Each structure stands twice: as C-alpha cells, then as structure tokens.
Amino acid sequence: MVKTSDGRALAVESLGDPRGRPVFLLHGMPGSRVGPHPRSTVLYRLGVRLISYDRPGYGDSTRLFGRRVSHAAADVRTIADELGLDGFAVLGRSGGGPHALACAAMLPERVSRVAVLVGLAPRNATGLDWYAGMTPSNVRAYREAERGHGRIADAMEFRSRQIKDDPVRLLNGLRTELTGTDREVVADSGLRRMLQSNYREAFRHGADGWIDDVLAFTADWGFDVGSVGVPTWLWHGADDQFSPVDHSRWLADHIPGAELFLEPGAAHFGAFRVMTTALAWAAG
C-alpha cells in the first residue's frame, strides 16, 4: 500500500525481475492490479519489472471523488517515488490507455515510452464520431454518464455486486457482443481465471472505480494528447467494438510520431495476445 500526499491509499503489485526495467501496466475498465499479465518467467526473460496498481475506487485503492484521467499521472509519480524509480515506461490496455497517455504527457521527465492497446480517444476529439462502431452496452453507459453521476451509479453498483459474486457473469453477459476471435481469446481457461480474479478484486468494495472511469472518459481529460512527446506505440484490433478502431486512428494522427499497428481480424480482447510484444517494446 502506497500513501498519497492527500492521504489516500493505492494498492500496488510488483512482478517479474526486481532489477529489470520498470514498466507500469495500467489496467482496463473494470479492472484491478491483478488483471491479466504475462507469466513471471516471461517477465524475467524480457528483463521487466512490471508494476500495476488499482486505480482509485477499484480494489483496495481509496476513491478519489471527481477524478479526471489526468489524475493518474500524480498517482503513478507517487508510486514511482515510493519505489525509488527515476524513469519508467507505461503500458495501458483499454481503459488504462487514456491514463497511460496522461502519464506520458504530464511526466515527460520520467516516462521513457508509452504503449496503448485498444485505447480510447478523448470525448471532445475534433472530427471523431466517438460512438461510431461502439457496442450498444458501452454507448448506453457513456451516454448515461454524460447526463451525470446519478444516472449510472445505482445500475453499476447493482451490476458490480452481481459480478463480484459471479465474475463469469460479466464475460457471459458480453458474449453476444464479442466477435468470433474475441470469443476464442476468452475461451482460454488460464485467461478466464485471471479475468475472474481481476473482476472480483476490482469490485472488492463496490463499483466506485468503474463509475468514476466512465465519468472521467466522457469529461475533459485534463491534458492534451498532442503534448505527448515520448515514443508512442498504438495497437488496435480492426474489429474492436468496445473501443472502436477509429479512436486509435485519431490518436495516431494527433500524437507526434506515434506508431499505429492495426491487426485485421483481431478485436478487443486480442490485446492480451500482444501484451508481451508491447512490454518488450516499452522496455526497449
């Protein structure tokens, strides 16, 4: 547990080679520090020290009322200071992507590289139809969030209790919205076990983190992605419907020098299959 200057607690996990190159892994939405990641043997082979933490309101991390995407930079800096890390890379998957970009934009003296897998673009992204190609369940949640906290809190609290009691419920509930390739990915028994642990930990104390993520993504992020000045690696499955591929196309057009890799036939959960590649690039 790491304490912030405002008295909050952040639950942190460190895996892999303790003397390796540090990479922060920022989890998806909903998610937690125990979310899917490469095996320790893989991390040692890559020479990576992988650091993850529960965003405020998830797992054992204290909620931060009114948090914006930009707040992630201060929390990552606090954890890095506690661990004695001067420099590090950042990898964000799905809902972790915007938070990873916040770190790169706001901590340029600390962040060496940033990788984003199936990330989102800002809600106010000029020229982007933010909802185009997005699965109906996500459209409903984000549109409700734009109308205010009270419109989504009760429903998401109810869903979080159901998922905590039976984490498979979330995956089963998404099944009708998954592409064939995504269904193949989540059919893997090892990945399903990690996802179940991930969701159970995410909702240990309720849905606050999930609610605050949705609110943060649909509000001003608190920084300009165009100010990201470190090497940036973007990956997106071309068939993704949870975070539509045009979001990464927009990011690639607005982050100086960003490299974009689009994988035909892959979708949202395909990000788990390229995480080792992304870590190797981030730590390079």
User: 16-60: per-residue pLDDT in tens?
Assistant: 999 999 999 999 999 999 999 999 999 999 999 999 999 999 999
- Band the pLDDT of 283: cuts 50, 70, 90: very high
User: 227-258: per-residue pLDDT in tens?
Assistant: 999 999 999 999 999 999 999 999 999 999 99
Predicted pLDDT of residue 149? 66
Cβ neighbourhood burial of 19 (10 Å; 0-12, 13-18, 19+): exposed
**Count of structural domains within the chain:** 1
Amino acid at site 82: E
Task: For residue 18, count other CB atoms closer than 10 A to its CB.
Answer: 10
- What tokens does 276 get? 């080792």
User: How far is it, in rounded angstroms, from Cα 69 to Cα 106?
Assistant: 11
Kindly state the DSSP code that residue 11 receives in the 8-state scheme: -
Predicted pLDDT of residue 164? 82
Amino acid at site 238: A
Predicted pLDDT of residue 157? 85
Q: pTM, whole model, 2 decimals?
A: 0.95
Locus of tokens 């600390």: 110
User: 58-109: per-residue pLDDT in tens?
Assistant: 999 999 999 999 999 999 999 999 999 999 999 999 999 999 999 999 999 9
pLDDT at 173 over 80: no
The CATH number of whichever domain residue 60 belongs to comes to: 3.40.50.1820
Predicted pLDDT of residue 6? 95
- What tokens does 218 get? 């649909």
CB 78 within 8 A of CB 5: yes
Residues of the domain holding 88: 2-283
Predicted pLDDT of residue 126? 97
Higher per-residue confidence, 91 vs 160: 91
Predicted pLDDT of residue 163? 84
Least confident of 87-101, 151-165, 259-273: 151-165
User: How far is it, in rounded angstroms, from Cα 172 to Cα 153?
Assistant: 22
Residue-wise burial string across 119-154, b where 16 or more C-beta atoms lie within 10 A, e elsewhere: bbbbbebeebebeeebbeebeebbebbeeeeeebbe
User: How far is it, in rounded angstroms, from Cα 140 to Cα 135?
Assistant: 9
Locus of tokens 């139809």: 129
C-alpha closest to that of 62 among 116, 125, 139, 7? 7
Amino acid at site 54: D
CB 118 within 8 A of CB 141: no
pLDDT at 174 over 80: no
- Band the pLDDT of 117: cuts 50, 70, 90: very high
Predicted pLDDT of residue 177? 80
CB 67 within 8 A of CB 56: yes
